[in-house]
C-alpha cells in the first residue's frame, strides 16, 4: 500500500512546472470541529474550487502529500490516480467567491481524504506539507471559535531569532521530516517523499509554574532530576484538532500525572490519515510546552530545558531579593542560555490512539528511520497562538510563535531564548521583561 | 511586456569614455577608464570578460575610482484628490533630486575598483578584484513648500553591491583565450518611501501627507553574499579582436537577493515623532527587501586600423526584466497591532523593468607614452515609460565621453576621463500606477482574478507616477595601473 503511495507521488511530481499565484494578504480559513460534537477549533479548512463547486480543503502541515479530488468529494471518497493540476483557493464558501491563491501545475493525488473532525466535514483534498513548504506560512488561530483563522503566504519572514526574541516571538527551529524513498524494486521506479513535516520536541504535562512560588533548588548533576513532565516528539498538524498521542506516549504521561492510562472517554478521531474513524480515548492535559525540534550537544531534553528556563526566569524575577542562579543551571560563572519555548494550557484536549493506528504509523514512515514521533499537536491545541511556519529559513526551518492578545500565562505563554547571564549588570530582554541582571550563580 | 522600439546603432565617435552609471542599478563602466571592454586585456577584464586576463603580462595592480553626480527632476501630472487619479485639481511643483556616488570609503563604495593579478608564462592569467557592478543613489529634495511630490515612490534610496571576484584565464590556442570569474556579491541598501494609508478609504482624500506612513529601512553590517559566475572568450587574429562574456545573476536563487534590513522604522501617519515601536523596545521592527538582479551578455569587437588607431564596438544585453519588483516585508512584536492592520507589514514596489541594450562605439589613438580616445554610448531604457517613477527613472540615453591615459613612469600608467549622460525626457503617459486599484480590489474581495487585485499584488496600486522625468549625469574618473 505504501509502495503504491510512493509511486503515485513520484508520478504526481513528474513533469510539473509549478506556478504559485498569490498575494501577501490574509486568506480566511474556517475550522472543523476539534472532535465529534466539539468546538469549531479543529483542522483548518480553506475553500477550493472543484468541478462540483466550492468545497472545503484541509490545510494540514503534517500531511505528506497534496491531494484534490478532481470531481469533488461531497459524494464520497473516490480513490483515483495522480495528475498535474491546479489548486485554487477561494475566499469563502459563497458561490461567487474571490480567488485568493492559485497553485498551478502542481502534482496532486486525485483522492478524497476521510472526514475531518466529525462526519459532517468532508474535505475535497489536502493542502499538505509539500506545497506549504514553499512558503513562510503565517497562521492566526483564535481561541474564540467564532473567529476565523487566518493564513498568509509570504516568501520569507524577516528578522533574526535575536531580533524577534526582543519582540516576544519564540523561534523553535526544526529540520523538516517525512522523507521516504524506495529503491527500484520489481521494475517500479524509485521515488522520494519530500521532507515537509514540522516536528518539535515537547514536554507534556509539566507542573504549574509561577515566579511567586518557592525557589526550586538544583545542585550540580541534578538538572535532569528536577524536570517535570514527559518528553515527547510531536508533529505540527494544522489539519488535526486535538493533541493526538500514541497510547504508548500517553501511558508515560499518565504515569507522570498519576492517572490511569485507560481513564477517559472513548470516541472516534477523524483525520486525513485514515479514511475511516480511528478509535480514540479522549482525555485532558493540563499543559504542554513546545520546544525546538533540532538538537545539539548541549540539548538536555524538552522537560529538562523547560525546567531550567523556569528556574532562570524565577531568579530574574526575584533577583532584587537576593536570588541566585542554581548551580545546575550554571556554566562557569554564568547562567546557561535558555531554550525558547511555547507553553499552552487551559485543559488541552487529547486524543489517544493506538501505536499501530494509521496516523501514528504514517508519522513514522521516514526512511531511514528517525526519532519516534509520538503524535500531533493539532490546530485546536494551538488555538490562541499566532504562528509563522518559516519553512524557508536557513539553515533550518523555524516556527515563530506568539500568543494572541489577551492571553494569560495559564493559556499561552511564549519565552524566547535568553542568552547566558553573568550578573554584571547587563540589560536585556528575557521572559517578556527588560531586566538588568545582577544575580550571580549560587555558591 | 512592452519592448523597446528604439533602433540601436553602434556609433564610433571621437570621444573617450569615462565611468558613468547606466540604467537603474547597473554600472555600465566598471573600471572603465575609457579603454576597457570585452576585447581588452587588463585587470578590468575580471568584470568585462575574464578571458582578457590571459593577456596580462607580469604582476599588475589597478586602483581607481569615479565621482559621479546624478540629477533628476520630476514634473508630476495633476491628480484628483478624491480618487488620486490623473488629472485633477491638485497640482505639484517640480520635484528634484540628486545623488552622488564615490568610492572613497571603506569598504570601497560604488565606482571604486581595485584589482591585483598577474600573467603567468604567457599561458595563464589570474586576478583578484573588488568592485561594485550594481549601485544606485538618489535622494529627492523637498519642494519650496516643504512637500515631497514623489514620496510614495521614493524619498531616498541607496543600493550597493560590492563584488569580490577571482578571475582566471587560459590560452586555449594562439588566438583564443577563455576565462572564468567567480565572485561573491555583498549587498547593502537604504530605502525610504511613504505609504498612503488613505488609499483604501472611501472618503479620505488621496495623497494627503497627514495620512502617509514613512518606511525607512536600512541594512546593517556585512550581509550574506550572493554568488555569481562570469564566463568569457576572446579571439584575436590579425587586426581583429572579438570578445564575448556572460555574467550570471545571483546563482541558486534565480537572481533573487534577500537583504535583511536590520534598521527598520515605520513612522505612523500624522507626523508623530519616532516610530511604531514602544519606548521599551526601540528598534523592534525587522525588515527585509527582496529583488532580482540581471544577468548580462557582453559582446565586443576591436579593429586595429593602423598601428596607432583602433575602433571598438561593444554591445551589452542586460536582462533587466528579472527586476520586476522590490518586496518589502516587516516583522514586529505580536502585541503591535498596527503593522498588518492599519499600516501594511508588507509592501510591493512595482518596478516592471525590461531588458535593455547598451551600445557604444569607441575610437582610440595610442602612442608609446599615451593614448586618447572617445566613446559615444547609447542605451535603451530599462523602464517602460508607463512604469517610470521617481524610484526608477530611465529612458533612452546618450553619453559622450572622453578620456586620456599617460605613462607616468615606466610601468605606471594613469588615466582620467569625463562623461556626460543625457536622458531624453520621459513622458509616462498613463502611469501603470493606479491608486484606485486598492479600493477596487477591496470591493472585489481580494479576488486575484480581478485586474485591480493583480495590480495590487504586483505593486501597481500606489499613487500615480504620471508626469515628465528628466535626468542627467556627470562623472569624473581616475585610474592608475602599476606593472612590475
The set of cell numbers assigned to B328 is 518589502
For residue A151, the distance in angstroms to the closest alpha carbon of chain B comes to: 13
> Shortest CB distance from A99 goes to which of B260, B335, B449?
B449
pLDDT band for position B393 (cuts 50, 70, 90) = very high
A183 interfaces chain B, CB cutoff of 8 Å: no
The whole-number pLDDT of residue B222 equals 84
Residue A405, chain B, CB below 8 Å: the answer is: yes
Mean pLDDT in residue range B261-287 = 83
The x, y and z cell numbers of residue B203, run together, are 472618503
Contact A340, A432 (CB under 8 A): no
Give the residue from A93, A92, A64, A68 showing the smallest Cα distance to A80. A68
Asked whether residue A441 is assigned to any structural domain, the reply reads no
**Do A256 and A401 lie in a common domain?**
yes
Please say if the pLDDT value at position A220 is more than 80. Answer: yes
In this structure, are A317 and A428 located in the same domain?
Answer: yes
Give the residue from chain A lying closest to B443, CA to CA: A98
Q: Write the burial class of residue A306 (CB in 10 Å: 0-12 exposed, 13-18 middle, 19+ buried).
A: buried
A167 vs B: CB within 8 A: yes
Instruction: Compare CB distances from B331 to A23, A101, A157 and report the shortest one's residue.
Output: A157
What confidence tens digit (pLDDT) does each residue in B330-343 have? 998 877 766 666 78
Query: Could B329 and A25 be called an inter-chain contact, meaning their C-beta atoms sit closer than 8 Å?
Result: no
Give the whole-angstrom CA distance, residue B37 versus residue B49: 7
**A288 in the same domain as A246:** yes
pLDDT digits (tens, 9 = 90+) for A349-395: 999 999 999 999 999 987 777 889 999 999 999 999 999 999 999 89
Same domain, A354 and A420: yes
Q: Is the Cβ–Cβ distance between A128 and A391 less than 8 Å?
A: no
Strands (E), B395-453: 397-409, 412-427
Average pLDDT, stretch B384-396? 96
Residue linked to cell 561593444: B314
pLDDT band at B185 (very low <50, low <70, confident <90, very high): very high
Indicate whether A175 belongs to any domain. Answer: no
Cα–chain-centroid distance for residue A77? 27
Judged by CB atoms closer than 8 Å, whether chains meet at B329 and A169 is answered as: no
A263-285: pLDDT as tens digits: 999 999 999 999 899 999 999 99
- Give mean pLDDT, residues B319-327: 91
Measured between CB atoms, which of A99, A158, A168 is closest to B447?
A: A99
From residue B118, alpha-carbon distances to B54, B61, B124, B179, B410 in Å are: 9, 9, 8, 14, 17
Using the Cα atoms of residue A436, residue A439, residue A440 and residue A441 in order, give the sign of their dihedral. Answer: negative
Q: Are residues A229 and A141 in the same domain?
A: no
Residues A226 and A148 in one domain: no
Distance (Å) from the alpha carbon of B450 to chain A's nearest alpha carbon:
8
Mean pLDDT of B459-467: 96
Which A residues in the span 239-268 are in contact with B, Cβ-Cβ below 8 Å? none
Backbone angles phi, psi at A231, to 5 degrees: -70, 130
Q: Confidence class of residue A192 from pLDDT cuts 50, 70 and 90?
A: low
In angstroms, what separates the C-alpha of A386 from chain B's closest C-alpha? 8
Range of the structural domain that residue A26 is part of = 2-159
Give the phi and the psi of residue A311 in degrees, each rounded to 5: -65, -40
Domain assignment present for residue A28? The answer is: yes
Kindly determine whether residue B335 and residue A169, on different chains, have CB atoms separated by under 8 Å.
Answer: no
- Same-domain pairing of A140 and A187: no
State residue A76's pLDDT score. 60
A434 touches B: beta carbon within 8 Å: yes
The CA-atom distances, in angstroms, between B460 and each of A313, B153, B386, B426 are 48, 11, 11, 19
Exposed / middle / buried, residue B107 (Cβ in 10 Å: 0-12, 13-18, 19+): middle
Q: How confident is the model at residue A71 (pLDDT cuts 50, 70, 90)?
A: confident
Give percent of chain A with pLDDT exceeding 70: 92
Counting the structural domains of chain A, the total is 2
Span B371-396, average pLDDT:
96
**A159 contacts B288? CB cut-off 8 A:** yes
State the pLDDT at residue A3.
Answer: 38
Total CB pairs under 8 A between chain A and B: 96
Under CATH, which number does the domain B45-266+295-320+355-434+465-483 receive? 2.40.160.60
Q: Does residue A218 sit in the same domain as residue A338?
A: yes
Q: CA-CA distance, A390 to A236, in Å (whole number)?
A: 13
Helix, coil or strand: residue A252: helix
Residue in chain A closest to B346 (alpha carbons) equals: A24
Q: Is residue A234 helix, strand or coil?
A: strand
- Helices B451-458 and B436-443 sit at what angle, rounded to 10 degrees? 120
Contacts of B329 in chain A (CB under 8 A): 24, 154-158
- List the domain boundaries for chain B: 45-266+295-320+355-434+465-483
The dihedral built from the CA positions of residue A155, A296, A205 and A257, taken in this order, carries a sign that is positive
Q: Does B277 touch chain A (CB under 8 A)?
A: no
* Alpha-carbon span A352 to A162, nearest angstrom: 37
At B152 the pLDDT is 97
Q: Does A144 touch chain B (CB under 8 A)?
A: no
Q: Are B230 and B163 in contact (CB under 8 A)?
A: no
In chain B, the residue whose alpha carbon lies closest to the alpha carbon of A23 is B457
Which are the contacts of B385, defined by CB distance < 8 A and separation ≥ 6? B395, B426, B427, B428, B429
Burial class (CB in 10 A: 0-12, 13-18, 19+), B254: exposed
- CA pair distance A265, B245, nearest whole angstrom: 72
Q: Which residue from B132, B113, B147 is spatially nearest to B27, judged by alpha carbons?
A: B132
pTM: 0.90
Which of A100, A157, A167 lies closest to B446 in CB terms? A100
Between CA B387 and CA B351 the distance in angstroms is 7
> In chain A, which among 68-97 make CB contacts under 8 A with chain B?
91-92, 97
Say what the pLDDT of residue B27 is. Answer: 83
Q: Is the separation of the CB atoms in B453 and B444 below 8 Å?
A: yes
Closest in B329, B333, B453 to A167, CB measured: B333
Under the banding of pLDDT at 50, 70 and 90, the label for residue B186 is very high
In B, which residues are within 8 Å of A390 by CB distance?
none
Residue A166 resides in a domain? no
- Best B226, B330, B334 residue to mutate vs chain A (most A CBs within 10 Å): B334
Residue A442: inside a domain, yes or no? Answer: no
Check if B338 contacts A (Cβ < 8 Å). no
Give the end of a domain, one of A112, A130, A159: A159
Distances (CA, A) of A422 to A336, A437, A441: 9, 7, 8
My answer on whether A153 and A184 are in the same domain is no
**CB-closest option in B258, B286, B456 to A164:** B286
Class of residue B258 by CB neighbours under 10 A (exposed 0-12, middle 13-18, buried 19+): buried
- Average pLDDT of the residues of chain B: 89
Q: Return the higher-pLDDT residue of B116 and A168.
A: B116
Q: What is the mean pLDDT of residues B85-108?
A: 88
- Rounded to two decimals, the ipTM of the complex is 0.88
Task: Looking at the structure, tell me whether residues A217 and A125 fall in a common domain.
Answer: no
Q: Which of A23, A168, A405 sits opposite B448 (nearest CB)?
A: A23
Considering the domain architecture, whether residues A235 and A86 belong to the same structural domain is answered as no
Residue A287 has a pLDDT of 96
Amino acid at each position: 500500500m505504501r509502495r503504491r503511495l510512493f509511486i503515485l507521488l513520484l508520478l504526481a511530481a513528474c513533469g510539473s512546472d509549478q506556478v504559485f499565484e498569490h498575494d501577501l494578504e490574509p486568506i480566511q480559513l474556517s475550522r472543523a470541529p476539534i472532535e465529534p460534537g466539539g468546538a469549531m477549533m479543529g483542522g483548518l479548512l480553506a475553500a477550493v474550487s472543484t468541478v462540483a463547486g466550492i468545497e472545503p480543503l484541509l490545510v494540514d502541515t503534517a500531511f505528506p502529500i497534496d491531494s484534490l479530488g478532481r470531481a469533488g468529494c461531497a459524494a464520497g471518497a473516490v480513490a483515483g490516480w495522480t495528475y498535474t493540476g491546479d489548486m485554487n483557493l477561494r475566499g469563502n464558501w459563497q458561490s461567487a467567491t474571490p480567488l485568493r491563491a492559485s497553485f498551478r501545475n502542481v502534482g496532486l493525488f486525485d483522492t478524497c481524504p476521510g472526514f475531518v473532525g466529525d462526519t459532517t466535514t468532508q474535505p475535497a483534498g489536502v493542502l499538505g506539507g509539500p506545497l506549504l513548504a514553499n512558503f513562510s506560512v503565517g497562521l492566526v488561530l483564535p481561541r474564540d471559535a467564532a473567529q476565523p483563522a487566518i493564513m498568509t503566504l509570504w516568501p520569507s519572514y524577516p528578522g533574526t531569532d535575536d531580533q524577534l526574541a526582543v519582540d516576544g516571538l519564540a523561534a523553535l527551529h526544526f529540520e523538516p521530516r517525512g522523507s521516504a524513498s524506495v529503491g527500484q524494486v520489481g521494475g517500479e521506479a524509485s521515488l522520494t517523499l519530500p521532507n515537509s513535516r514540522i516536528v518539535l520536541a515537547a514536554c507534556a504535562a509539566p507542573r504549574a509554574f509561577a515566579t511567586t512560588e518557592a525557589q526550586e533548588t538544583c545542585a550540580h548533576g541534578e538538572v535532569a532530576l528536577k524536570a517535570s513532565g514527559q518528553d515527547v516528539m510531536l508533529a505540527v498538524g494544522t489539519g488535526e484538532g486535538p493533541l493526538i498521542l500514541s497510547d504508548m506516549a500517553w501511558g508515560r504521561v499518565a504515569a507522570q500525572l498519576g492517572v490511569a492510562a485507560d481513564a477517559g472517554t472513548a470516541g472516534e478521531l477523524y483525520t486525513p490519515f485514515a479514511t475511516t474513524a480511528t478509535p480514540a480515548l479522549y482525555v485532558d492535559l493540563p499543559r504542554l510546552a513546545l520546544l525546538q525540534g533540532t538538537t545539539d550537544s548541549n540539548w538536555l531534553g524538552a522537560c529538562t530545558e523547560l525546567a531550567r528556563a523556569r528556574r532562570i526566569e524565577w531568579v530574574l524575577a526575584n533577583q532584587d531579593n537576593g536570588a541566585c542562579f542554581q548551580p545546575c543551571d550554571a556554566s562557569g560563572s554564568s547562567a546557561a542560555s535558555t531554550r525558547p519555548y511555547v507553553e499552552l494550557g487551559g485543559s488541552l484536549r487529547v486524543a489517544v490512539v493506538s501505536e499501530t493506528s494509521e496516523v501514528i504509523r504514517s508519522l513514522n514512515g521516514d526512511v531511514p528511520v528517525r526519532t519516534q514521533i509520538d503524535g500531533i499537536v493539532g490546530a485546536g491545541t494551538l488555538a490562541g497562538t499566532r504562528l509563522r511556519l518559516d519553512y524557508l529559513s536557513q539553515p533550518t526551518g523555524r516556527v515563530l510563535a506568539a500568543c494572541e492578545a489577551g492571553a494569560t500565562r495559564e493559556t499561552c505563554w511564549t519565552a524566547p531564548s535568553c542568552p547566558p547571564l553573568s550578573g554584571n549588570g547587563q540589560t536585556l530582554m528575557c521572559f517578556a521583561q527588560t531586566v538588568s541582571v545582577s544575580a550571580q550563580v549560587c555558591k | 511586456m512592452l519592448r523597446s522600439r528604439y533602433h540601436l546603432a553602434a556609433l564610433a565617435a571621437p570621444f573617450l569614455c569615462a565611468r558613468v552609471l547606466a540604467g537603474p542599478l547597473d554600472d555600465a563602466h566598471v573600471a572603465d577608464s575609457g579603454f576597457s571592454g570585452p576585447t581588452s586585456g587588463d585587470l578590468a577584464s575580471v568584470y568585462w570578460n575574464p578571458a582578457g586576463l590571459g593577456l596580462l603580462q607580469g604582476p599588475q595592480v589597478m586602483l581607481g575610482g569615479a565621482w559621479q553626480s546624478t540629477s533628476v527632476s520630476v514634473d508630476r501630472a495633476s491628480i484628483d484628490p478624491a480618487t488620486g487619479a490623473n488629472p485633477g485639481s491638485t497640482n505639484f511643483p517640480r520635484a528634484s533630486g540628486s545623488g552622488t556616488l564615490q568610492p572613497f570609503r571603506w569598504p570601497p563604495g560604488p565606482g571604486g575598483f581595485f584589482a591585483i593579478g598577474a600573467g603567468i608564462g604567457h599561458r595563464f592569467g589570474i586576478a583578484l578584484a573588488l568592485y561594485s557592478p550594481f549601485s544606485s543613489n538618489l535622494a529627492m529634495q523637498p519642494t519650496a513648500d516643504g512637500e515631497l511630490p514623489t514620496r510614495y515612490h521614493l524619498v531616498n534610496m541607496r543600493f550597493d553591491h560590492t563584488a569580490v571576484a577571482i578571475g582566471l584565464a587560459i590560452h586555449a590556442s594562439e588566438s583564443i583565450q577563455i576565462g572564468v570569474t567567480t565572485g561573491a556579491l555583498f549587498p547593502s541598501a537604504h530605502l525610504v518611501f511613504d505609504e498612503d494609508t488613505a488609499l483604501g478609504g472611501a472618503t479620505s482624500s488621496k495623497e494627503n501627507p497627514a495620512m502617509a506612513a514613512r518606511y525607512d529601512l536600512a541594512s546593517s553590517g556585512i550581509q550574506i553574499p550572493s554568488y555569481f559566475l562570469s564566463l568569457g572568450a576572446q579571439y584575436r587574429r590579425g587586426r581583429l579582436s572579438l570578445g564575448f562574456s556572460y555574467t550570471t545573476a545571483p546563482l541558486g536563487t534565480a537572481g533573487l537577493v534577500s537583504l535583511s534590513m536590520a534598521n527598520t522604522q515605520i513612522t505612523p501617519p500624522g507626523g508623530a515623532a519616532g516610530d511604531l515601536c514602544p519606548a521599551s523596545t526601540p528598534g523592534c521592527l525587522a525588515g527585509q527587501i527582496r529583488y532580482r538582479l540581471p544577468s548580462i551578455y557582453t559582446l565586443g569587437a576591436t579593429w586595429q586600423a593602423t598601428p596607432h588607431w583602433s575602433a571598438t564596438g561593444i554591445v551589452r544585453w542586460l536582462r533587466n526584466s528579472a527586476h520586476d519588483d522590490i518586496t518589502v516585508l516587516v516583522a514586529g512584536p505580536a502585541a503591535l497591532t498596527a503593522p498588518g492592520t492599519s499600516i501594511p507589514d508588507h509592501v510591493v514596489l512595482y518596478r516592471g523593468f525590461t531588458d535593455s541594450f547598451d551600445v557604444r562605439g569607441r575610437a582610440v589613438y595610442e602612442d608609446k607614452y599615451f593614448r586618447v580616445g572617445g566613446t559615444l554610448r547609447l542605451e535603451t531604457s530599462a523602464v517602460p515609460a508607463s512604469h517610470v517613477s521617481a524610484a526608477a527613472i530611465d529612458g533612452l540615453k546618450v553619453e559622450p565621453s572622453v578620456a586620456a591615459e599617460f605613462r607616468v613612469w615606466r610601468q605606471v600608467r594613469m588615466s582620467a576621463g569625463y562623461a556626460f549622460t543625457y536622458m531624453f525626457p520621459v513622458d509616462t503617459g498613463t502611469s501603470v500606477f493606479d491608486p484606485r486599484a486598492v479600493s477596487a480590489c477591496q470591493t472585489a474581495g481580494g479576488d486575484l482574478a480581478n485586474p485591480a487585485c493583480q495590480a495590487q499584488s504586483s505593486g501597481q496600486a500606489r499613487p500615480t507616477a504620471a508626469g515628465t522625468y528628466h535626468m542627467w549625469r556627470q562623472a569624473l574618473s581616475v585610474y592608475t595601473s602599476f606593472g612590475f
